[in-house]
Every structure is written in C-alpha cells, then in structure tokens.
Structure 1
Amino acid sequence: MNSFYFLKSLLVCALIFAFSVEATLGNIVCENLNKDSCAFAVSSSGKRCVLEKNVRRSGKEVFVCTTSQIDTDQVTNWIESDRCLKACGLDRNVLGISSDSLLDSNFMQKLCSTQCYTGCPNIVDLYFNLAVGEGVYLPSLCQTDGDNKRRGMSEIRSSGNVAPGPTVPAKLMVDVSPAMAPSPTGPF
C-alpha cells in the first residue's frame, strides 16, 4: 500500500517535471537568453537571436540578446551546441549577423567541412541564406577548390554598392603640367 502511494507520487512528480521542462525548452525567447547562449540561437517563433553590445552612460558595456527580423527556414527553439560552433569555426560572442565571414577562407573551410556542413543544419541554414543574399550559392561554393573558391568569394566582395562617380563633369585638358592644373574648386 505504501509503495502504491510512492509510485503514484513519483509518477505525478515525473509528469510535472516533464511538462515544466517541455514548457521551458519549448518557448525560447531571445530576450531571455544570456550572452553565453544567444548567438546562433533561434526563438520559438523561428526568428534568429542576435547578441548586441550596449554602452551605458557610465561607460559600462552590457551584452543583450535581441530578436532579429531574420527568419529561419526550418529551425525553431534552438540553442546552438558548442560542438557545432567549434566544428564550424564560430565564436559564441559574435555580435550581430553578417556575411563578412564568408570572405574568410579559413572560416569557409570549416563551414564546408563534413562535421559542420552535414552536422550543424542551423548554422548551414544561416550561412546559406547569407550567401544567397550576396548572390552566391553556398553548396557550389563549398564544392569548388582553390582559385574557383576565391572567384566565388570575390563575387561576394563585388556585390556591394559601387561608389558614385564625380558629380562635376570633367574637362579634358591638353598638355597640362601639375603646376598648371586647375583648382578643384575652380571653373571647369
């Protein structure tokens, strides 16, 4: 009889624990994450979490986790594992989300490694979408070698805005030495 109540109590405690763990793990809110779990996490709504640094009036730096506007394709309720961060060559303390790391050949080598590419779908999804935003197809970039990979990475470099040309029309001058060159503020 005593063992029946013990088993019943144990079952009730196990159910309460199971539901509380599910509720805790099932509702990731970026703003509730600390610095050590924010970067590369995904909220329950499917938005990526971003680590940001704020500086208070006192000069003290404070790190906060915020929800970005970047959606994931298939991942929700995800805090990236240390194993994946190491395999993909990432740092948990990275601020923001940027495609700049796609220009780093050491990072690309780790991202395209079997351990990262096949074992860390959240990270691959993020960088796949960042590469697409730069006009590059990540699987093709990972399959290329040497000079071709550099060429694909140069596509990323050249996808930015081009600086505007001169706003004042240039006047061609014949036989002008540097001493006779007109002033940039002078008439053209």
Structure 2
Amino acid sequence: MEKKRIVVAMTGASGALLGIRLLQELRKTGAETHFVLSDWARRTIELETDYTVEQVCALADLVYPADDLAASISSGSFQTDGMVIMPCSMKTLSAIANGFSYNLIARAADVALKERRPLIVVPRETPLSSIHLRNMLSLSGDGAILLPPCIGFYTRPKTLEDAVDHLVGKVLDELHIPHQIYPRWTGAES
C-alpha cells in the first residue's frame, strides 16, 4: 500500500484525546502526517490530558503554526490524501462552512474541499443549535464528512479508550486506511 499523506488539525474544542489517538494510530500505519493545532488546542491538551504539547507534536511528521498561511498545506498543488479536524470547534466549523480562511486550519480545509479531497470534521459540541446544524449541513453539501464523536455500543466499550478507539477507527475507515483498532460488526447471532 502506498504511503498516505494526511493533514491533521486540532482545535480548542473539548476532546483533545481524540486527535492525539488519531496521530498515534496514523503513526502506526506509516502515514505522513502534517499537523496544525490552534492556540486553544494547545491549552485544551494541557487542561484535558497528561500529554504535553511537545509530546503531541512529536507524533506528527511536520508541524505548522496555525497562523502560517504560507505553509505547503495551504496550497492545492501540495498533494494530500485528506484532512481530519479532530476535535473541531464550532468556530472553526463555521469558518470553513462560510469560506473564511482566517488561519491555516480553515485554509487547509478549504483546500481539501476545493480539490475534492476527503475532509473529515469531528465536531465537538452539544447540544447543537440550528446555527451549528446549518453550518454542518452546508459543509456536508460541499463534500465534507461530518463524523460526530458518537459511541458505538455494539463494540461493548469497557473504557474511555475503547470508545475513543472506535471513533478513531471510523476516521481511519473514511481515509481508507486499514486498521484493527476496534472489532467490526459481523452480524447478530440468532
């Protein structure tokens, strides 16, 4: 299998562990990762996990500052196999849905959409307002894959890690990256 090149972004929405686990699993697959995290993502990592920002950045092949709009991933001529924003704040989701490329995360997402590359958005908010839903519908209509962090109970998760792994596996599925991070449904036994 050819090595995949994936852009990963983390915003300040709650759920930093989701993005961290994705980076860990992408590393195992041998994918080349290009990583951007917002200032609030840095703070959320510190608040929600035992990881340092430096440890998280070390999981990626290349790391870009969120204000570097001259980075390679800001151009459609830089070939990638997709982008994942995990977790994605409603601020970032709104910016992407409305074409407001105010930082590298929003610009790289805009590039993924315009180049018809997979853009997987893991929105982290609840409850959802009609504004959130309209922005999600807009993104979906433009080709983005909305993958809310919903627990798959058929895998019978016993720990938070089990639930996170199921979600990370769903993201890997959307990127067409083989994995065995969670057990697949094989049908109900009669």
Higher relative contact order (CA 8 A, sep 6+): 2
Give the alignment's TM-score, normalised by structure 2.
0.26
Looking at secondary structure, tell me which structure has more strand per residue. Answer: 2
Looking at secondary structure, tell me which structure has more helix per residue. Answer: 1
Give the alignment's TM-score, normalised by structure 1.
0.26
